[in-house]
Chains A and B, each alone.
Chain A
Amino acid sequence: TQLLEQSPQFLSIQEGENLTVYCNSSSVFSSLQWYRQEPGEGPVLLVTVVTGGEVKKLKRLTFQFGDARKDSSLHITAAQPGDTGLYLCAGANNNNDMRFGAGTRLTVKP
Chain B
Amino acid sequence: KAGVTQTPRYLIKTRGQQVTLSCSPISGHRSVSWYQQTPGQGLQFLFEYFSETQRNKGNFPGRFSGRQFSNSRSEMNVSTLELGDSALYLCASSSKRDPIFEQFFGPGTRLTVL
C-alpha gap A42/B107 in the complex (Å): 4
Contact A96:B101 (CB < 8 A) given known A40-B110, A42-B106: yes
> Which residue of chain B lies nearest to A30 when distances are taken between CB atoms in the complex?
B101
Interface size, B (range): 20 to 34
Q: Is the CB of B42 within 8 A of A100?
A: yes
C-alpha gap A96/B92 in the complex (Å): 13
Cβ-neighbour of A43 out of B45, B90, B110 (below 8 A): B90
> Which residue of chain A lies nearest to B88 when distances are taken between CB atoms in the complex?
A40
> Which residue of chain B lies nearest to A47 when distances are taken between CB atoms in the complex?
B102
Q: Is the CB of B102 within 8 A of A42?
A: no
Could you say which residues of chain A place their CB within 8 Å of the CB of B106?
42
C-alpha gap A87/B34 in the complex (Å): 19
Count of chain A to chain B residue pairs whose CB atoms are closer than 8 Å in the complex: 52
> Which residue of chain A lies nearest to B94 when distances are taken between CB atoms in the complex?
A96
A33 contacts B by Cβ under 8 Å: yes
Could you say which residues of chain A place their CB within 8 Å of the CB of B42?
2, 100-103
B63 contacts A by Cβ under 8 Å: no
A31 contacts B by Cβ under 8 Å: yes
Which chain A residues numbered 19 to 58 have a C-beta less than 8 Å away from chain B?
30-31, 33, 35, 40-45, 48, 50
Q: Is the CB of B101 within 8 A of A31?
A: yes
